[in-house]
């Protein structure tokens, strides 16, 4: 009798365990950072994860917060968010914790073509979600040393500098999941 009650309960657990194991193949994790994103005194986790093999999507971002029980819980899963390749050196994205408790997501091309660039997103935890607080971009042409671009923008205030000139746009709270790189390029006048 007891076995008939326990067996269905165990079967309900197996799909959850299988889907959790399938959610992150450790071989797909390309960069990780720990810090206290929500400022609750517990260590949280951020990952950049390659898409499944054969996919033409960009890398995803997984953001975890430590719950009251001390276990990490997935707060935000953002697929197709960070450009990066792994076949050549100089194109792998990275994520790191900043002393302020924010995250820095970097993508770049230092390997192919004459147009080399680097983009950094400063991500902060605000109003119970992850937002883009800052956008930094720089580029140069390997064949034309005078063809460069630089921008540093505070997305929250809308103020910054582009090619050493002040820029101002509407400050806004943009969720990381809603951010597009075109948004930063346009605000900096680089499109």
Residue 23 pLDDT:
62
Please count the other Cβ atoms lying within 10 Å of the Cβ belonging to residue 87. Answer: 8
105 occurs within a structural domain: yes
- Into how many domains does the chain fold? 1
Asked if residue 96 belongs to a domain, the reply is yes
Q: Is 145 part of a structural domain of the chain?
A: yes
Between CA 61 and CA 179 the distance in angstroms is 12
State the pLDDT confidence band at 8, using cuts at 50, 70 and 90: very low
C-alpha span between 7 and 67 (Å, rounded) = 29
Is residue 176 in a domain?
yes
Domain-located, residue 17: no
Per residue in 13-25, pLDDT tens? 333 333 343 468 8
Residue 92: strand, helix, or coil? coil
By percentage, how much of the chain surpasses pLDDT 90? Answer: 78
The range of the structural domain enclosing residue 53 comes to 28-187
In a domain, 15, yes or no: no
Top pLDDT among 4 and 44 is at 44
Q: In sequence order, what are the residues at sequence separation of 6 or more whose Cβ sits closer than 8 angstroms to the Cβ of residue 38? A: 44, 65, 125
DSSP conformation letters of 27-86: GGEEEEEEE-TTSSSS-EEEEEEPPPTT----EEEEEEEE-TTS-EEEEEEEEEEE---S
Write out pLDDT tens, residues 105-141: 999 999 889 999 999 999 999 999 999 999 999 999 9
Are 167 and 153 in contact by the 8 Å Cβ rule? The answer is: yes
Whole-angstrom distance, CA of residue 48 vs CA of residue 85: 12
Query: Where does the pLDDT of residue 88 fall: very low under 50, low under 70, confident under 90, or very high at 90 and above?
Result: confident
Q: What is residue 13's predicted lDDT score, i.e. its pLDDT?
A: 34
Residue 1 lies in a domain: no
| Confidence (pLDDT) at 158 | 95
Give the tokens for residue 75. 């707060």
20 domain-assigned: no
């Amino acid at each position: 009798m007891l076995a008939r009650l326990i067996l269905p309960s165990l079967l309900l657990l197996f799909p959850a365990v299988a889907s959790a194991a399938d959610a992150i193949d450790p071989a797909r994790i390309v960069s990780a950072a720990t810090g206290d994103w929500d400022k609750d005194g517990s260590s949280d986790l951020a990952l950049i994860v390659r898409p499944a093999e054969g996919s033409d999507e960009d890398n995803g971002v997984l953001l975890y917060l430590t719950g009251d029980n001390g276990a990490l819980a997935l707060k935000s899963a953002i697929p197709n968010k960070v450009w990066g390749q792994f076949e050549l050196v100089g194109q792998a994205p990275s994520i790191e914790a900043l002393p302020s408790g924010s995250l820095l997501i970097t993508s770049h091309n230092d390997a192919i073509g004459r147009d080399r660039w680097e983009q950094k997103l400063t991500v902060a935890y605000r109003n119970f979600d992850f937002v883009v607080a800052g956008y930094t971009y720089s580029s140069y042409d390997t064949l034309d040393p005078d063809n460069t671009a630089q921008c540093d923008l505070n997305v929250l205030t809308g103020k910054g500098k582009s090619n050493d000139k002040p820029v101002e746009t509407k400050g806004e709270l943009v969720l990381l999941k809603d951010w597009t790189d075109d948004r930063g390029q346009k605000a900096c006048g680089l499109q």
